[in-house]
């Protein structure tokens, strides 16, 4: 997937999420289905997922390559990343990334802050994606807690899908 298509995908997925969150009743921000994350927790989890990616992409590429190495395979297509993510979710049997385990439920006062941060982090990711060289997107790898090391282009595509995945979960639950 080309950079421009990835940026459009990020914009589309985050716009759908933000619109849904803004229109979702405030009384359901802190209350969710029994044993499931609340809307606030889902939004916070997505923020906890994109923020470290943006932080990592602020580090010079040569340092990332030194720390994590280089890609040793061609970049996968979007559909393959989605398929592998579902396989890994199935294998993990619902394990949650350590930063999202025992997550606090954000209060209603945090709703607008979290939504604004999601919008800001999405714009940052789009900007960083646009500015990176194609070679760096394909050769530089970053660790993903569930998927292992992934080329940056793949992890950005996964980020777009991750938003879709959680939005679909929210729509099903509500």
Going from N- to C-terminal start, the domains of the chain cover 1-22+38-91+137-174
Whole-angstrom distance, CA of residue 122 vs CA of residue 94: 26
Q: For residue 97, is pLDDT > 80?
A: no
Whole-angstrom distance, CA of residue 21 vs CA of residue 72: 39
68: Cβ contacts below 8 Å, ≥ 6 apart:
140, 141, 142, 143, 149
Whole-angstrom distance, CA of residue 101 vs CA of residue 134: 34
pLDDT tens, 24-57?
A: 999 889 988 888 899 999 999 999 999 999 999 9
82: Cβ contacts below 8 Å, ≥ 6 apart:
161
Confidence tier at 92 by pLDDT (50, 70, 90): confident
Q: Which residues pair with 151 in a beta bridge?
A: 141
C-alpha torsion angle, residues 33, 9, 158, 42 (rounded to 10): -20
């Amino acid at each position: 997937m080309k950079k421009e298509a990835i940026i459009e995908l990020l914009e589309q997925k985050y716009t759908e999420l933000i619109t849904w969150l803004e229109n979702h009743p405030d009384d359901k921000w802190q209350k969710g289905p029994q044993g499931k994350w609340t809307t606030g927790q889902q939004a916070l989890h997505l923020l906890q997922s994109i923020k470290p990616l943006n932080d990592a992409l602020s580090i010079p590429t040569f340092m990332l390559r030194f720390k994590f190495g280089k890609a040793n395979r061609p970049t996968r297509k979007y559909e393959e990343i989605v398929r592998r993510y579902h396989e890994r979710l199935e294998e993990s049997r619902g394990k949650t990334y350590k930063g999202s385990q025992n997550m606090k439920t954000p209060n209603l006062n945090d709703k607008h802050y979290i939504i604004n941060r999601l919008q800001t982090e999405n714009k940052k990711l789009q900007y960083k994606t646009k500015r990176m060289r194609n070679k760096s997107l394909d050769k530089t790898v970053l660790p993903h807690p569930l998927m292992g090391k992934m080329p940056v282009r793949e992890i950005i595509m996964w980020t777009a899908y991750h938003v879709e995945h959680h939005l679909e979960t929210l729509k099903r639950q509500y």
